[in-house]
Chain A
Amino acid sequence: GDSVTQMEGPVTLSEEAFLTINCTYTATGYPSLFWYVQYPGEGLQLLLKATKADDKGSNKGFEATYRKETTSFHLEKGSVQVSDSAVYFCALRDESSASKIIFGSGTRLSIRP
C-alpha cells in the first residue's frame, strides 16, 4: 500500500541555519504531495503542496520539489527562524483513493535563538 517515510526527529538548529527535512513516498498511482505544519496546541495546517512531477511548492520561505524519479518531496528553507519551531508532516493523497491521505510520522523542529 501507499506509505510516507520522513526524517526522524527531533531536529534542533540555530536561527538562520539551512533546513532540510527528508520525505520519501511509495504510491501505486500518481499522488499529490503535501507538507503540513503543526504549531503547539493547534491542528495541522497546510504549508505547501505539489500535484505533479517536477512541481515546486513554496510558502513562507519553505520549498519542496516533487521528484518522481527519487519518489521524494524534501522540505527546505534557507534561513530558519525561532517562529518555525513546530512539527512538520509530509503527506500524500493518491488519485485512486481521494478519500484517504497518508501521513508521515512527523518531524519536530526546534530553532535556537
Chain B
Amino acid sequence: NAGVTQTPKFRVLKTGQSMTLLCAQDMNHEYMYWYRQDPGMGLRLIHYSVGEGTTAKGEVPDGYNVSRLKKQNFLLGLESAAPSQTSVYFCASSPQGAGSYNSPLHFGNGTRLTVT
C-alpha cells in the first residue's frame, strides 16, 4: 500500500530552469493538495484540486502551475525557478463525500528543492 508517492525526492535547479514535481496516490482520493514548508512558516497551500480536471489556487500560487489530468496524479510545475522557491514541497490527498471534513490528509514524504 504505497499511499502518496512524490518524485523526485531531491532536486537542485538553477534560476530560470523549469521542472515538474509528480504526486501519485493509490487511495482513489478526490482531493489533492500541494503545500510548501519553509522554516518557521509551517505549511502553506500552493494549489489544490477537488477532482480530475479541476484545480484551484491556494495561499501562495504565484510562480507555480498545476494539472490534474488523471485522478491519481497531481503535477506541480515551476516554469522559471527562483531562489525564493527553495523549499520542501509536500503533496497530500483526502477522500470526498459526506463527512469528508472529518478525514485527515495523507501526505507524501516531500521533495526538497534548492534553487541556486
Contacts and interface: CB of A to CB of B under 8 A. Distances in A.
Interface of A: 31-32, 34, 36, 41-46, 49, 51, 89, 93-95, 98-101, 103-106
A73 B92 CA distance: 23
Given A100-B48, A105-B41, A44 B105 contact: yes
Interface residues of A: mostly helix, strand, loop or mixed? loop
B116 to A, nearest CB: 22
Interface residues of B, number: 25
Interface string B82-116: 00000000101000100011111101111000000
Given A89-B43, A103-B43, A105-B40, A43 B110 contact: yes
Contact of B101 (A44, A94, A106): A94
Given A43-B92, A103-B43, A105-B41, 6 more contacts: A32-B102, A41-B109, A43-B107, A93-B101, A100-B45, A100-B58
A91 to B, nearest CB: 8
Interface string B23-63: 00000000101000000111101001010000010100000
Contacts of B41: 105
17 contacts: A31-B101, A32-B101, A41-B109, A42-B110, A43-B4, A43-B107, A44-B105, A46-B104, A49-B102, A89-B42, A89-B43, A98-B96, A101-B105, A103-B42, A103-B43, A104-B42, A105-B42
